[in-house]
């Protein structure tokens, strides 16, 4: 993955056609409770499916949408069409959930760009990761939320981290006390994961903020 410093500034503004599409997606989600398909958008806007797809790709690159590949209703609005301009914003790479054996930073796992306030990513390199599963729900991290992660190889006791355990990526709270190391879920239905000497544990980064995409205008709350 190329070096980005603290993020790449976005200077391209949203076009009128992109805004119409984004409004259509937001309206469909608000009234139907689910994202629209490409065909539904094409019918609503009286455009071809190919044209809609190109607009969605541009909105992904500009940090307004994320899309789950392989799902017909996999669109998630990351920035509302009514949000202000991008002044003071930077972009960081948005990664999807990781299949077993697939490196987290592999090109296949890069969904696009996420725009964040420059003050949130003041120093270092950062990435965003879409959450799958409910193991951290009691920490305020729900399925579909987007985590903002500062890349770092070390973390402190009780930090929420993105870790690579035996080649599988996971988001958990780090426990490191009295010689015991474990990854702790924040949901009583899930068991803690003890780390033994035979395990390969690598910290990829610390979660510093959460963007709740279930809301129409996703708020961000900072963890550090």
- The answer to whether residues 29 and 77 touch, using CB atoms and an 8 Å cutoff, is yes
Is the distance from CB of 10 to CB of 113 less than 8 angstroms?
A: yes
Cα 172 vs. chain centroid, distance in angstroms? Answer: 15
Would 49 be classed as within a structural domain? yes
Q: Are residues 97 and 197 in the same domain?
A: yes
Residues with catalytic function? 135, 172
For residue 47, is it within any domain? yes
CA distance 181 to 207: 18
pLDDT tens-digit map of 175-185: 999 889 999 99
190 shares a domain with 108: yes
Beta strands 193-194; 180-184: pairing state: antiparallel
Number of domains observed in the structure of the chain: 2
Question: What confidence tier does 155 reach under pLDDT thresholds 50, 70, 90?
Answer: very high
CATH number at residue 47: 1.10.10.10
Q: What percent of the chain has pLDDT over 90?
A: 38
User: Are residue 27 and residue 94 in the same domain, yes or no?
Assistant: no
1 part of a folded domain: no
Q: Residue 139 is part of which domain span? A: 89-222
Is the pTM higher than 0.75? The answer reads no
């Amino acid at each position: 993955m190329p070096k980005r410093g603290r993020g790449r500034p976005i200077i391209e503004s949203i076009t009128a056609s992109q805004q119409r599409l984004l409004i259509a997606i937001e309206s469909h989600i608000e009234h139907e409770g689910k994202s629209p398909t490409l065909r539904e958008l094409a019918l609503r806007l009286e455009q071809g499916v190919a044209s809609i797809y190109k607009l969605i790709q541009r909105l992904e690159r500009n940090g307004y949408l994320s899309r789950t590949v392989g799902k017909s209703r996999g669109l998630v609005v990351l920035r509302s069409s009514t949000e202000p301009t991008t002044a003071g914003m930077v972009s960081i790479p948005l990664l999807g959930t990781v299949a077993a054996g697939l490196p987290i930073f592999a090109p296949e796992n890069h969904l696009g760009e996420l725009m964040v306030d420059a003050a949130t990513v003041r120093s270092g390199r950062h990435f965003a990761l879409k959450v799958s599963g409910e193991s951290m729900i009691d920490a305020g991290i729900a399925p579909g939320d987007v985590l903002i992660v500062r890349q770092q190889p070390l973390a402190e006791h009780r930090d929420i981290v993105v870790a690579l355990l035996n080649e599988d990526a996971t988001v958990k709270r780090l426990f490191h006390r009295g010689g015991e190391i474990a990854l702790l879920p924040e949901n009583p239905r899930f068991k803690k994961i003890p780390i033994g000497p035979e395990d390969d544990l690598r910290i990829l980064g610390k979660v510093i903020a959460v963007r709740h995409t279930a809301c129409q205008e996703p708020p961000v709350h900072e963890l550090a």
